[in-house]
Every structure is written in C-alpha cells, then in structure tokens.
Amino acid sequence: METAEDIKAAKEIIHAILRTKKNLRMYPENNPIYARTIGDTYTRFRSFFNYRDELNLKINQNDILYDSEQIYYNPGKDDNLAFFFFKDGLREITFKNGLSETEIEEFLKILSLDFDREFVDDDIVTLLWERDFQNIRYVVDEAFLAEDEDYETEAVREIKEKAPDADELLKAYDDAFKADEVKGVSIVPLTDDHLHSLARELERDVYDKTDKLVEILFEMLYQAESAGDYEDALNFLEGAIEFSIRHGNMETASSIMKRATGLINDPSLPDNVKRQMRLLFSFPSSGEMIKLLGELLDSVEIDEKVFDEYVRFLDKNAIPPFITILGELKSINARKNVINALTFLGGKDIRALASGLQDSRWYVVRNIIYILRKIGDKKAEEYLLKAVRHSDVRVRKEVIKTLGELGNRGVLQTLKDCLEDPESQVRISAARALSNIAPEVAKRIILEKVSGKNFMDRDLDEKKEFYEILSQWKDGDVVDFLMRTLKKKSFFRGAVNDENRACAAYCLGLMGNKDALPVLYELRDSKNELLREYAYTAIKRIEYGR
Amino acid sequence: MADKEEKEVIKSAKDIVNQLAVIIKTAHFHDPGNVAVVTAIDRFVALANSLIASEGTLVLELIGEFFYVNGTRIKYSLEYLLNFDFLGREFKKRELGSIIFRNAIKPADIQAFLKAFIASAFSQNPFETLTENLADVDCLIIGKPKKLKEEGEFDVRRMVKKTYFNAASYTKGIMNRIKSGEKVSIKKAKRVVESMVDLILEEEELLLGMTAIKGHDEYTYYHSVNVSILSVALGQRLGLSRKSLTELGLVALFHDMGKIEIPDEILNKPTNFTEDEWRLIRRHPFWGVRAILRLKGLDATAIRSAIVAFEHHMHYDFSGYPKVRRPSELDFYSKIVSLADQYDAMTSSRVYSRIPMSPDKALSIMMERTGTQLDPLLFTFFINMVGVFPIGTLVILDTKELGLVYKSNSLFPDRPRVLVIIDSKGSRVEGYVVDLTEKDAGGKYLRTILKTMDPNKYKINLAEYLL
C-alpha cells in the first residue's frame, strides 16, 4: 500500500504530463517554455524515483490508477488522458527508476502528436514500440486487433476436425518402413564470406525506392488492359511526383515527366490515353503542387540545375501560384529560384505573368517587373505602363528602368512625364530610360530639363546623375551648354549656381573634353570648395584618362 | 543516465560479448599463453573492468537466443552476428546460462576461466565440470540457463496462438474490406506485425511452429500471415532492426493483396488452372500494387509494399512474372518474401500443382532453384533458420517411433526435438516430446532420424498438438 505522499507525487506527475502534452503542441521546440515544461516533468519523475523504484499506472477508459488509487478521472472524451491511452489498447504503463530525460522527452513528444490528423499513421502503441524505451514498459490489450472475436475458436475447431483418424496414422506408420532413406538437405554453415556478402547487400538496399516504384508504374502503364488501368497508373504517377517533391527529390519528379513526355509521343499509345496523360502534365503546375514546391525551396537548398530541369516540365498554369508564393518565401535562394522559374514560364504567357503587377505586395510587383525585363518581350509594355503610377517609389523606379531597356519609343511621353515625378530616383531612372530608347530626343529633353529654372533647386546627387547622362553625347550642343554653365557666374544664389558648374565640370571630365581645360584650371582656385574639387577631378580625368 | 552515456554502455556491452567470443575462438587454436590469446584477454579485461567500474557488476546471460548484459538485451548487429552465434553455441554446449563478474577482474582470472571452459567441452556433465574447475576463481559465478517458459509455457503458447489467429483474422478483415471498397487503416496492421516481431524475437520456435499448421480453410489469409512470420524470422537472422522487421512483416503481409481481384472460384478451384485463369493469376502483382497504393497513398512502407507485391513472383533471374521492359535487381525485401512465399506455398495445399510437399522436400526443391528463382545467399540464411528438418516434418526414428519435428536445433540441425505420435510398438500416443541430442550413458544418441515422409499424404500435421 502506497502512502498518501506517494499518491500525491503520482498525481503531480499526471498533471505535469497533461501540462506538457498541451505546451508541446502550442510552442515550437526552440521556445523556452517547451524545454522548461519537459524539464519540469522530468524533475517530478526524478523526485518520485528518489524513494521509489517504479511508477506503475493502470489505465481504464476514464481514469488512471496508481496502486488502486484513482489519481486521474475524466468522464468526457475531450482531453481525456486515460481514454487517450485506453483507445489504442494501453492498459498499463510503468516508468522505471533510471528513466532518462531523453526518454521522457521522447515519450512526451509522442503524447503531444495530433493523432487525429491524417498523416499520423501510427497509434500510440506503435510509436512506443518503435522507440523501444529501456525504462518505460507497457501492457497492451490486443483483443481489438481481431476482426472477429470467435475467429480463433472457430479456426482451431476446423483444423482439429481435419485431424487424421487412427487408420491413417497407422497407415503412415506402415508406409514409413517402406519409405526411402533420409536425404536431408545439407546445411551450408554461415561463414564470414556470407556475412560480407550480406553486408554489401544491405548497403545496396539503402536507396530511395521511389525510382523503383516509378519504374513499376510505367510498366503498369505499358501493360494496362483497360481505361481504368491507365487511369490508376497515371494517378499513382501523380502521387509519385507529389511524394518526390514532398521529400525533396526533384530528380525523380523530373524523370517521371521526362519519361511521360517520351511516352506521349509514342504513336502506339491510344488517343484517349494521351488525353489522360495530358492531365499528368498539368498536375505539377497546380496550385497545390507549386505550394509544396515553395515549402521545399524554403526548407532546403536545391541545386539550380535540378530545379531548372523540373521547371521545363511546368506549364503556364504554374504562373499564378508561383506569383503567390513569391511573396511568401523566406529564403533569398528560394525567391531567386522562383524568379528564374517565372522568367522561363512567363515567356509562354506574358499576360498571366503581368497579372502579378496587380499584387498588393510592392516587392512582388517589383519582382514581376524585373522578370518582365529579363524576358524582354515588348508585349509587356502595355502592362508595365500601368505600373508607372504605382504608389511605391521602388516599383516606379523598376518599371521605368524596364521600359527603358525594352526600348519602345511609344513610351517616350510617359517617361517624359516621369521626369516630373516627385521622387528624384524616379526622375533619374526616367532620364536614363529616355536616353536608352531615343538618344536624340532624350538629349533635347534632358538639356531642356537641366537648363530649366526648377532644376537649379534639385539635389546635388540628382543634378550629378543628369549631367552624367548628358556625358554620353559628346557633340557641340552639349559641350556648348556645359561650357556656358561652367563659365556662368551669378551674384544671387551663387552657391546653387556653383553646384551646377561643378556638375558641368564633372560631365566635361567624364567626356574627356580637353577644350575645357583652361576654364577648369581657373576653377581650381575657386572659392567654392565643391567647384574646386570637381574641377580638380575633371582635370585629372582629362589629363590622365582617369 | 544520459542518452549518450547509455549508448556508450550498450556499445561497450556489445564489445564485451564479442570479445569473449574472440577469446574462446582464439583459444581453440592457440595455447592459453599464446600472444594472440593474451592480447584478446587483456582487451576483454579492460572492457569488462570499465563496465564493472561504472555499473558495479557485470552479469552476462544467455536467455533463449539472445545475450543480456546487466539485464539489457544486446541486439544482434551484422558485424557481431557470427561471434554472437558462436558464443551462444558454446554456452549451450555446456548448459551455461550466465557468468557474473562481481569485482574487477584480472587476466589470470580469465585465463583460469578459459582453461575450465575448454576442458568442460569434453565432459559428460559440462556445467558441473565447469563449476568445479572455477571453484577457486572468486570473482566469477556461473549459472545454468534461465528457462524461458518459467512463467508458464501454457501462457506463452496461448499468447502465440492469439497473435497468430489475430493476424489471420485481421488479414481476412482487411482483404474483405478492400474488396468491398471500404476505407481501411493500416494502424492495426502495424500492431499485428509488431506483436509478431516481438514473438519472433522472444518465442521464434513457437510462432514458426504455427506456420507449420496446414489445412486451414482460408488459405489466402493464413498464407499471408505465414509469409510475414517466415520473412520476419529470416530478417531477424539477417540482423535487421526491430523497425525494419516491422516494415518487412507488413510488406510480406500485403504481398498477395492483388489476389483480392481474382474470383474465389478460381482461387479455390480444385483442378488445374486453364490458360485464361493463369493469365488472371499473373496479373495479381499489378493488382497488388494498385490495392496497396489505393489503401493509403504513398509513403515509404506503401512504396516498399507495392514493390514487393509486384516483384515477388519475378524470380531472381527474372524468369517469373510479370515480365518487364527494364528489369532491375529485385528489392532486398522481394527476395526475402519470395523465399518465404515459395516455402509456405509449397508446403501448403491448393497451389503449385495442388500437391503440398513435405517441408524437407520443399527445401530440397528450393535449393535446386537457388541462382535461378531464388537468391542463393538469402537461401543459405533461410535454410540455416528452418533447419534440415523444418518444423512439421514427419519423421521415423531409428527407435521405430513416428513423430513430427517440433522444434529445430540451431546447434545440431539434424537433431531437432520431435513430437512422437506413434510409439516404437506401433501404438498411437497422445504425443510426447523427445530431444534427439539425448545420449545414453555410453555417449550414443538415443534416437536418430531414419527417414522423412510426406505428412500431407496422411493429413498429419502439428495442429492437433500445438493448438
């Protein structure tokens, strides 16, 4: 008979288990509460074992007993620890002194699993069995494993009914003396060679079996005898693709698609099967599969070549789900891979890709613009123009850059309008884009801009960028303008004027214009520090080509 | 004990058992003073003393087929398989069940033990001789084997029977439900197989004995269970882990799942199959894949089960069915299941020309099939497992007693335990068990197998005595 203290300690352990079961579900492993809860439960066990050798718990449907004392009771089905054990046949659990923290952690992890979910394939007894704990023993009632309670009795009765009668036995006895002498099979004793061969065989056996299954599934396809057979084989191949992606095996998924591609071109394959097979090709592009792919990309590093090969088998239906996951992925490499995928797939359907420009996340829109630029299809302009007024400056900048690289003159007016954008970065991008598309027109527009009164008030950086753009035109118009600016003196707003002069010096330096040297020499002694510095740098550039 | 420490102790326990085998093996060829023996002893002493220092004592026991160190079973692993096997045999020869090392040991103690151990092999009463010769070695105590059935053989048998029939009942249930298109869970299947694995590890002979009971009405279900048991037993000999054994057991249990598509009137047909019927039979590997993959979608076990369901009739040299375009080496489990499948099918009625064979006849045919239908390496392990005279073989002894092989003997494969059903006077008896290793006072065996017979011819099997 246990003491009241023993019972109290056992109850505390049950409470600690219940608390841990809950906390382990609520908190991730790296959360301090997770580790603390396990530690607390372990401490309860340790203090119990300070004076006792084991904790034996009897499990009933609604209660748990310790030495015939009820230490837990719950008549309901929800969160009922007793029923949780009972329903899988557990009738007794014994924790032995010597229980390690690792053991208790493993045990608690099993308890915290969500057994109602589809993918937990094992019941609690199987999981305990697999762990093979040294210090946790249990007793199981296996009666429920039999489908039919009377099966054993019935089977034994039937077998015994067939027992030979005495005559048959005696006939066997008589015949025995006429039988041939014993020719037993000789046993080859096991040797080291056998063991080495077995070890090699076991080593060879450690391979991913999916490829072998795929081989079988294709064989089923080749040897199918009915539409149902084809449908089954194709469904299983879809399952194999999903399984491969789920387990990070993109090579197998690609090889399935590759073989299917070969098969669909086989003239001997009936048309209805080819129609069914096309469904196989659309499967990897489904939203569910792309989501799965995203999870994979975010969890492990995928070889770019392997990923690219897989993407070759996707169709344009994969574009929208790829756009969705692009905004959700956490790793840079994953996003890079998706951008590459969209660059490949987007070429097949610019419109579908451009739908991503409507995404509410600015970074997704910017990525889509980048992808459209990489694809380089002029058809994208019609969609890009709509993004020019995007609320985020980073998007506007990207779209202008893209329009510039696509090089269509039809966007000149839009770009010109962008030179009035409230953001300097956008104005700079617009100027660069203009110069890319139509240099002559751009020269005129930019000269006009930099000559304008408002330009004087822009930041030095913006001014410098505009002058830098001007440096690509080394003709008379530009040089005259620069020289005029360089020499221009102003009584009012002298510092702002000197900024313009400094930028002109910078531009002439970039152009390597030797005619500007005399004026630049003079400016080396300017009272304005910025002008002095820019003139000095320009001289160096022109004189030494630096 | 921290997990890491625990693993180290288990590893060191394994090394100790292995090293004891090494010492004894070496001492069989060399004088105890030889450097090879001395070095081996030194290593053993170092290993043992380290464990004694941390655990206080070292108790090495042989219980059934397994070694235990300080109460913990030392699992078989491939690298130690032969040495463990050897040591087990040497212990059994001497009726030695345990050695207790109470204090730190010295090489001289082990030298003394070794001399006594080797000398006892030639004694009529080896255990007693060993005890006598070790009287002066204080740090060692030896004991006889613990009887496995101490808690009551009846209970163990009842448990074995229950597990076996539960498995058959479950298999029948799952096959019927799949047939009628119902959704099934394989959680129960795992539980069924886990029970079988536990029994294979603890009560292998009894569970194997159940597979020798023939004459069930529901052949398909019993065949699936028998193949599962035989496969797990072989897997155990091959050093597979418990978890792998469960997977193997499941895979084997489902190997014939495709047969649910074959009409019962064909499966249970009393005459030979027509060509059309054979064509259907040959489709069952395809249907097996389909049934398994529909059962629960894809996971590692489903994949392996589907592979085995597809390959179990393909044969080692691909001469079987189905024929495929790109044959690749059979899966390891397929090779195991093929062996178990052929053996059980041949020794049962209704397949393979409908004439069941005696176990020894089946083995000799299987031997002829090694290298063509069956993997020769795995067959070597298989025959070492079932013995020359497998359980259920009908034998006539030189004493004119007729009996059935009841339990094989791994040490002396041609000297199993036999259940006598007709005595030397030709009278039917209730059944008593004789051990063919028993000798008379002159050292001559009391009984020897003279001939084997086909038990099926006379409808004789173990059922009456085991059930």
- Summarize pLDDT for A84-105 with one digit per residue, the tens: 898 888 999 999 988 888 999 9
pLDDT score, position B279: 92
How far CA A420 is from CA of B88, B233, B268, in Å, comes to: 93, 84, 90
Task: Name which of A77-86, A293-302, A357-366, B299-308 the model is least confident about.
Answer: A77-86
Residue matched to tokens 């030797």: A514
Minimum distance, in Å, between the CA of residue A210 and any CA atom of chain B: 7
* CB nearest B191 (choices: A125, A134, A190): A125
Q: Is the pLDDT of residue B398 over 70?
A: yes
Probe site for chain A from B54, B293, B358 (most A CB atoms < 10 A): B293
Note the pLDDT tens digit of each residue in A134-162: 899 998 887 767 777 778 888 888 777 77
* CB nearest B299 (choices: A121, A151, A229): A121
Probe site for chain A from B165, B184, B350, B401 (most A CB atoms < 10 A): B165
Note the pLDDT tens digit of each residue in A10-63: 999 999 999 998 898 888 888 888 889 999 999 999 999 988 889 999 999 889
B55: Cβ–Cβ under 8 A, 6 or more apart, which residues? B9, B70
CB of A51 within 8 Å of a chain B CB? The answer is: no
Model confidence at A504, pLDDT cuts 50, 70, 90, reads very high
Write the burial class of residue A493 (CB in 10 Å: 0-12 exposed, 13-18 middle, 19+ buried): exposed
| CA–CA separation, A208 and A220 (whole Å) | 20
Q: Looking at chain B, which residue has its C-alpha nearest residue A224?
A: B286
CB contact under 8 Å between B459 and A162, yes or no, is yes
Q: Is the pLDDT of residue B32 over 80?
A: no
How far CA A50 is from CA of A9, A301, B102, B365, in Å, comes to: 11, 48, 26, 62
CB contact under 8 Å between B394 and A121, yes or no, is no
pLDDT score, position A185: 64
Cβ neighbours of A168 in B, within 8 Å: 458-460
Instruction: Identify the bridge partners of residue A96 per DSSP, sorted by sequence position.
Output: A54
Residue A473 structure tokens: 């035109």
| CA–CA separation, A463 and A465 (whole Å) | 5
pLDDT score, position A200: 92
Q: Is the pLDDT of residue B410 over 80?
A: no
Minimum distance, in Å, between the CA of residue B136 and any CA atom of chain A: 35
User: Which long-range CB contacts under 8 A does B76-82 form with residues at least 24 apart?
Assistant: B76/B236, B76/B239, B77/B14, B77/B239, B78/A195, B78/A198, B78/A199, B78/A202, B78/B238, B78/B239, B79/A199, B80/B14, B80/B17, B80/B18, B81/A195, B81/B239, B82/A190, B82/A191, B82/A192, B82/A195
Task: Read off the pLDDT of each residue in A252-278 and give the average, rounded to a whole number.
Answer: 87
CA angle (B318, B348, B394) in 5-degree steps? 120
Q: Is the pLDDT of residue A229 over 50?
A: yes
CB contact under 8 Å between A215 and B328, yes or no, is yes
Q: Is the pLDDT of residue A443 over 50?
A: yes
Q: Is the pLDDT of residue B1 over 50?
A: no
Transcribe B102-152 into DSSP letters: -S---HHHHHHHHHHHHHHTTSSSHHHHHHHHTTT-TTEEEEPPPPGGGG-
Q: Is the Cβ–Cβ distance between B334 and B311 less than 8 Å? A: yes
* CB nearest B467 (choices: A160, A179, A181): A160
Which strand ranges, in their side-by-side order, compose the sheet holding A54-59? A69-73, A63-66, A54-59, A90-96, A136-140
CB contact under 8 Å between A190 and B298, yes or no, is no
Residues 151..210 of A with a Cβ closer than 8 Å to B: which? 151-152, 155-156, 158-160, 162-164, 166, 168-173, 175-177, 179-192, 194-195, 197-199, 201-202, 204-205, 209-210
Probe site for chain B from A90, A187, A232, A283 (most B CB atoms < 10 A): A187
Mean pLDDT taken over chain B: 85
| CA–CA separation, B139 and B99 (whole Å) | 10
Q: What is the 3-class SS of B147-200, one letter each residue?
A: CHHHHCHHHHHHHHHHHHHHHHHHHHHHHHHHHCCCCCCCHHHHHHHHHHHHHH
Residue matched to tokens 């499967």: A283
Q: Is the pLDDT of residue B149 over 50?
A: no
Q: At residue A287, what are phi and psi to the nearest 5 degrees?
A: -55, -40
Task: Read off the pLDDT of each residue in B361-372 and give the average, rounded to a whole number.
Answer: 92
Closest to A194 in 3D by CA, of B384, B241, B317, B74:
B384
Cβ neighbours of A181 in B, within 8 Å: 450-451
Q: Is the pLDDT of residue A75 over 90?
A: no
CB of A228 within 8 Å of a chain B CB? The answer is: no
pLDDT score, position B208: 86
Task: Name which of A134-138, A284-288, A424-428, B460-464 the model is least confident about.
Answer: B460-464
Residue intervals of chain B classified under CATH 1.10.3210.10 are 150-386
Model confidence at B352, pLDDT cuts 50, 70, 90, reads very low
Instruction: Identify the bridge partners of residue B435 per DSSP, sorted by sequence position.
Output: B417
Cβ neighbours of B187 in A, within 8 Å: 121-123, 126
Residue A543 structure tokens: 């004189």
Q: Is the Cβ–Cβ distance between A92 and A57 less than 8 Å? A: yes
Instruction: Identify the bridge partners of residue B370 per DSSP, sorted by sequence position.
Output: B374
Cβ neighbours of B463 in A, within 8 Å: 159-160, 162-163
CA dihedral A166, A171, A176, A178 (to 10 degrees): 170
Minimum distance, in Å, between the CA of residue B137 and any CA atom of chain A: 32
CB contact under 8 Å between B458 and A171, yes or no, is yes
Q: Looking at chain B, which residue has its C-alpha nearest residue A247?
A: B299
Share of chain B above pLDDT 90, in %: 32
Q: Which amino acid is at A308?
A: D
CATH superfamily for B150-386 is Hypothetical protein af1432 (1.10.3210.10)
Q: At residue A540, what are phi and psi to the nearest 5 degrees?
A: -55, -45
* CB nearest B464 (choices: A160, A171, A194): A160
Q: Is the Cβ–Cβ distance between A80 and A74 less than 8 Å? A: yes
CA angle (B374, B375, B380) in 5-degree steps? 105
pTM of this structure: 0.78
Helices (H), B56-106: 81-93
Note the pLDDT tens digit of each residue in A177-226: 776 665 556 777 888 899 899 999 999 898 889 999 999 999 999 899 88
Probe site for chain B from A148, A182, A183 (most B CB atoms < 10 A): A182
CA dihedral A89, A94, A95, A98 (to 10 degrees): -130
Cβ neighbours of B88 in A, within 8 Å: none
CB contact under 8 Å between B3 and A220, yes or no, is no
Minimum distance, in Å, between the CA of residue A314 and any CA atom of chain B: 22
Model confidence at B2, pLDDT cuts 50, 70, 90, reads very low
CB contact under 8 Å between A142 and B394, yes or no, is no
CB contact under 8 Å between A147 and B303, yes or no, is no
Whether complex ipTM tops 0.85: no
CB contact under 8 Å between A219 and B360, yes or no, is no
pLDDT score, position B433: 87
Minimum distance, in Å, between the CA of residue B134 and any CA atom of chain A: 32
* CB nearest B187 (choices: A121, A173, A205): A121
Q: Which amino acid is at A409?
A: R
CB of A271 within 8 Å of a chain B CB? The answer is: no
Note the pLDDT tens digit of each residue in B272-285: 888 999 999 999 99
Residue with the bigger pLDDT between A132 and B8: it is A132
Task: Read off the pLDDT of each residue in A399-408 and give the average, rounded to a whole number.
Answer: 89
B369 by DSSP, 3-state: which? coil
CB contact under 8 Å between A187 and B215, yes or no, is no
pLDDT score, position A179: 63
Residue with the bigger pLDDT between B70 and B151: it is B70
Q: What share of chain A is helix, strand, coil (3-state, %, to 5)?
A: 70, 5, 25
CB contact under 8 Å between B381 and A194, yes or no, is yes
Residue B17 structure tokens: 């058992």
Mean pLDDT taken over chain A: 88
Model confidence at A546, pLDDT cuts 50, 70, 90, reads low
B1 by DSSP, 3-state: which? coil
How far CA B375 is from CA of B173, B359, B368, in Å, comes to: 33, 19, 11
CB of A227 within 8 Å of a chain B CB? The answer is: no
